[in-house]
Amino acid sequence: MSPDGNPFNIDESPELSARVLSDISVSGPVLAFFTSAVVWLLIGTVFGLTASLKFNFPDWLASLPALTFGRVRPAHLNTIMYGWISLASAGCSIWLTVRLCRVEVRWRKLLYPSVFFWNLGVLYGTIAILIGDNRGLEWLEFPRGAALLIAVAFVCLSLSILRTFHARQVKHIYVSLWYILASVVWFPILYVIANLPFYSGVTQAAVNWWFAHNAITVWFTPIGLAAAYYFIPKVIGRPIYSYYLSLLGFWSFALFYNWNGIHHLVGGPLPTWLISVSIVASVLMFIPVTTVAINHHLTTVGHFGKLRYSPTLRFVVFGAMCYTAVSFQGSIEALRSFNEISHFTHYTIGHAHLGMYAFATMILFGAIYYTMPRLVKWEWPYPILIKYHFWLVAFGIALYVGSMTVGGILQGLYMNEASRPFIESVEVTKPYLLARSGAGVLILIGHLIFIYLFCLMILRRGPERKAPPWREKMEVVAP
């Protein structure tokens, strides 16, 4: 049986028709999640590029308070994290859950309110930041009202996923499902604890960075990994390399990653033991990351040729490789000797984008490319545009991370050399900040292509095609 089966034909086998029924049961909510995610992707990208251009031309649009760097930058982070990545991950996780539990979705009526409250929360929070109602905590800038809306939306999603899981028709729980189930339990608890009003001073700094890093630990990363664990074997058509490795990978991930947050405060006014604990935990991340990397790589090895034909596989494998890269980088960044240079510099910004873009966003693109034809019963038109999308954003993010890495290291070295005036550490970054804006333009063009294709899918427009792009090509190539 084909791993990337033709979504039009539901009579191929009973197993396949059951799968189509579960797909249909969630197609409405998943489409709603994806569509709103894509809108936030566009808004967030424009905010990001604006913030970057502010470094190149600080007096550009300077009379508009809502577009000052200090407001556009958090607007970028929050629209991308809580808008694009969260909503796309929500759609992805509920879709994977029904697939992996082989049932129709349960408590479906909770999912539309989830989409609604989520979007309302992000909209309210973003407007609040732009008009100056920022709470002053990184990753927690949204006012409590907006945070409450998002928390309610998340709980709705969690309940639907957990209820669907409870009704599962399978004995074996696939590894992707572990990550999703853990995630939907972890994140609401984390988000509520972090938004409690009890903290101040350095304790609040600890809670702040425990949360900010754990948002990545318990939500963005697990869903990315769940998708990679599902789509790589699915598209290639062979099982994951080792079950035991994925077990080890999951539990070491859960155990160590939760302790990483305070590495954002190395050298800061917190108890030394606390910072050391986070550094140790960050280094221990080598274990789950290596495990996952081996598992994904040994599943893919020998099948790299398929990357040419399957857009899903191309995006997901790119993302999975960047997960390995960004995690190793993160472990090294936590070490005091390296942190002394990279802390407080653009290096960290490069690292963040390697994680949240090259890993998380690329995998979500792959997931959307796979899922959409099954949701709207229409094949992606214009495969050549998918190719442009991939290469524009892949080259864009490589340029982004490259320029921030080099620029950031130079900035750190200059900053730590007391004989140089501080302004030299600013001047040295300028060409790299300009390159970063160039990268942002490439990424924005890539996103516009993606959004154009996405709109065609929603409207079921463009040339009608009978099979996924890779299969058409395979038939031409294979005798």
Partner 1 sequence: MMFIRATTFFLGVLATLFLGWAGLTLIPGIQIREVKPSSELKPYTEEQLRGRAIYIREGCIYCHSQQTRPEGFGADQLRNWGRPSLPGDYVYDKPHLLGTMRTGPDLFNIAARQPSEDWHLIHLYNPRALSPGSLMSPYPWLFKEEDVFSKEVYAATGERVVPVPKGFAPEDKVIIATQEALDLVAYLLSLNHTYPIKTEK
Single-letter residue type at 282 = S
Q: Which of the residues 292 through 351 are near partner 1 (CB under 8 A)?
A: 336, 340, 343-346, 348
Q: Binding residue for partner 1 (CB under 8 A) from 82, 154, 191, 210?
A: 210
- In the complex with partner 1, which residue's Cβ is closer, 62 or 298? 62
Question: How is residue 334 written in tokens?
Answer: 């936590």
Least separation in angstroms between CB 469 and partner 1: 35
418: left (phi over 0), alpha (psi -120 to 50) or beta: alpha
**Which stretch in 3-11, 79-87, 178-186, 309-317 sits in contact with partner 1 by CB under 8 A?**
178-186
- In the complex with partner 1, which residue's Cβ is closer, 148 or 270? 270
CA distance 356 to 74: 15
- Is residue 169 at the binding interface for partner 1, with CB under 8 A as the rule? no
**Which stretch in 7-15, 83-91, 411-419, 438-446 sits in contact with partner 1 by CB under 8 A?**
411-419
Q: Which of the residues 71 through 110 are near partner 1 (CB under 8 A)?
A: 71, 73-74
- In the complex with partner 1, which residue's Cβ is closer, 244 or 305? 244
CA distance 141 to 144: 9
Q: Which of the residues 106 through 145 are near partner 1 (CB under 8 A)?
A: 132-138
Question: How is residue 79 written in tokens?
Answer: 């629209």
Please state the separation of Cα 273 from the chain's center in Å: 31
CB-based contact 17:11 (threshold 8 Å): yes
CA distance 295 to 291: 6
- In the complex with partner 1, which residue's Cβ is closer, 189 or 301? 189
Q: Binding residue for partner 1 (CB under 8 A) from 172, 305, 464, 479?
A: 172
- Is residue 280 at the binding interface for partner 1, with CB under 8 A as the rule? no
CA distance 368 to 224: 12
CA distance 279 to 9: 52
3-state secondary structure 179-221: HHHHHHHHHHHHHHHHCCCCCCHHHHHHHHHHHHHHHHHHHHH
- Is residue 202 at the binding interface for partner 1, with CB under 8 A as the rule? yes
- In the complex with partner 1, which residue's Cβ is closer, 190 or 360? 190
- Is residue 201 at the binding interface for partner 1, with CB under 8 A as the rule? yes
- In the complex with partner 1, which residue's Cβ is closer, 27 or 327? 327
Nearest CA to 91 out of 32, 150, 155 is that of 32
Q: Binding residue for partner 1 (CB under 8 A) from 8, 12, 169, 173?
A: 173
SS3 131: coil
Least separation in angstroms between CB 215 and partner 1: 12
Q: Which of the residues 346 through 405 are near partner 1 (CB under 8 A)?
A: 346, 348
CA distance 472 to 224: 28
Q: Which of the residues 429 through 448 are near partner 1 (CB under 8 A)?
A: 430, 433
